[in-house]
Amino acid sequence: MRRKSRRPASPLPQRHGVDPVHLRLPLEGDWPTVREHLVERLPAVAAARVEAALRDGEIVGEQGPIGFDEPFRPGAHLWFYRDHPAEVPVPFDLVVLHRDDHLVVVDKPHFLATTPRGRHVVETALSRLRHSLDLPALSPAHRLDRLTAGLAMFVVRPEDRGAYQTLFRDRLVRKEYQAIAGYDPELSLPCTVRSHIVKERGVIAAREVVDAPPNSESRVDLLEHRDGLGRYRLRPLSGRTHQLRLHMSGLGLPILGDPVYPVVLPEPAPDDFRRPLQLLASTVEFTDPLSGRERRFESRRTLAAWADRPGWESGA
């Protein structure tokens, strides 16, 4: 069996915690120059931008900057920094709760994405942590929705990544969330919600399919209620996208601040940080796969609609 060749180390460092783009030129092709290949390969990038990057030495190979008329070499490796759209800074702190040689656990604020994706690149938990902690190899153990606050785990060393990610894949992490939603005295709680959830690429909202076996399960408990609102403890026993939000909406208790369930609302402006989704990843427990120790982490955050309902409703 032919072994896959390892990618050479990047000659460019991370910038703001974001890796440079890596490209490998095709093993076959009749492009006279690297420039002509890149113009064809990167149609979303204007040819003038590619040419300017080559002139300025911004595209590098293993031996250094690629010249404007550099001949095409099959299989050569290239690196460059992507032009990112301007991002609105998320004006909330990312709090490190735990750090050791293997694991970083943080208390993520609402509106901060966990990992770079789409228009959120620099303003993400991963990029911030790589930069602030000087941990360029840091990687996520799992993903927490951008709109959800609370506990997120990151792995320090690449060789440990699989062990921690397997915990989440095999449902060996015991997770609890808190949520604020309406209160229905007619609803019998606690209850367990099971359904078949489908999430299609490019579609914002997930949906439940009636005539299909369940692939998701959530436990819902009412902790307390007042003035028409309830504070709920949610325990997902599976990990489908938007599972808790969809299950709460299906119970007739959509989580406050949810812009998708039960109705997809117009996307707010990038700098609109009012009325965050009232969902918090509050507790994680697991047996550490490296040390065998029992681990438990708790969020220090609170949900604004419960602590200060008028302030949350007014967007203060």
Please tell me the distance from the alpha carbon of residue 265 to that of residue 249, in angstroms, as a whole number: 15
Three-state secondary-structure class, residue 7: coil
Of the listed 145, 170, 272, 308, which one is catalytic? Answer: 145
Cβ atoms 108, 300 nearer than 8 A: no
13-17 long-range contacts (CB < 8 A, ≥24 apart) are 13/136, 14/130, 14/131, 14/136, 15/81, 16/122, 16/127, 16/131, 17/122, 17/126, 17/127, 17/128, 17/129, 17/130, 17/131, 17/132, 17/136
* 145 in active site: yes
Number of H helices, E strands in the chain: 7, 15
134-152 as b/e: b if 16+ CB within 10 A: ebeebbbbbebbbbbbbbb
Residue linked to tokens 């997770």: 175
29-45 as b/e: b if 16+ CB within 10 A: eebebbbbbbbeeeeee
Residues in Cβ contact with 234 at an 8 Å cutoff, skipping those fewer than 6 apart = 176, 177, 178, 179, 218, 219, 220, 221, 244, 248
What spatial distance separates the first Cα and last Cα of the chain, rounded to whole Å?
A: 62
Among 139, 165, 163, residue whose Cα is nearest residue 289: 163
Query: Hey, which residues are catalytic here?
Result: 145
